[in-house]
Amino acid sequence: MTAPVVGTDSVDKDRGGAVVTALIFAVLFALAEVTPVSNLVALPAFYEYYGIGDATPWLLLVLGVAIPAVIYPGALLLGRGRPLFARALILTVALASTFALEFGVMALAAALQPAIG
Amino acid sequence: MARPDNLDPPLQGEGDDDDEALRWAGDEERGRDAPHLRGSEPSPQVPLEDEQTTSRGSRGRTAATVAFVLPYLLYTVAWIFAVQNLSSGSTSLPSEVLWQFGEFLTILAAPLWFAATLTLTRDHRPLPRVGWLALGLGVLIPWPFVLDLYAALQIAGNLS
């Protein structure tokens, strides 16, 4: 008689859960990219239109796009090898922090914007 | 008739197998010890010195946690105020929904970071907890609130 292998199903379920969680958060992080990308596309044209094209905050615009792209893989790495709950918690905090950072970047860009007109 | 080849190998120690059966995958990660059967090896006693060290570590963790409560509370309130002054400037419903979702998560960012740090560093020494809590304060600076406050102070300074 061999000892029963306990927990194999649980490990598989955890792995499946981790993949599903990663996919769900990938979509949410992609949504977090919408505003920065639209800012990157629209804001330079807006600045040009008002004759302040030289003051386009390129660094902040690129930073806004880079934030979710960097934080998502970072959160995945941080959650590697942890239980499913911990992974989901880390990804949730990462998503919330992403939005907070993006609002911060937008506020800084607005503060640096020269007066129009 | 079963041939000797088909038979399972003889048991090497029934107690070990029983202990193995009571262990679940992931127990080690969660820091749980498997229950032991009566008569199997007793768990080693923790020396008094270790207990004192653990107690000191626990006190340090608690002190660090309490010290960070107020800054995180302030951040949460600051983000609540900051979010009031932000607007998407968009008229489309999906953009507005996404914006509101972002604002909601932003308000929750500081308490979530705090709670997650407490949960994930429960069995760690105080230093990692302090490090993560300090990092959170650096990452989650409520810039819109800070900039509004700075502008308001400048206006107040010009008026006086």
pLDDT tens per residue across span B54-108: 566 677 778 878 999 999 999 999 999 999 888 877 778 888 899 999 999 999 9
Q: Provide ipTM, 2 decimals.
A: 0.85
Q: What is the DSSP letter of B142?
A: -
Q: Note the pTM of the prediction, 2 decimals.
A: 0.75
Asked if the Cβ–Cβ distance from B109 to A106 is below 8 Å, we say no
Provide, as residue numbers in chain A, all residues whose Cβ is less than 8 Å from the Cβ of B83: 103
In Å, what is the CA distance from B40 to each residue of A4, B73, B135? 19, 49, 46
- B21 vs B17: CA distance, rounded Å: 6
Residue-number span of the structural domain to which B104 is assigned: 55-159
Contacts of B119 (CB under 8 A, 6+ apart): A86, A89
Residue B10 is assigned to a structural domain of this protein: no
Distance CA B52, CA B11 (A): 42
A96 min Cα distance to partner chain B (Å): 5
Residue B124 included in any domain:
yes
Residue B27 inside a domain? The answer is no
- Using an 8 Å CB-CB cutoff, list chain A residues near B98: 31, 34-35
pLDDT tens per residue, range A21-70: 999 999 999 999 999 999 999 999 999 998 888 888 999 999 999 999 99
Give B154's contacts in chain A (Cβ within 8 Å).
none
Tell me, what's the pLDDT at B1? 45
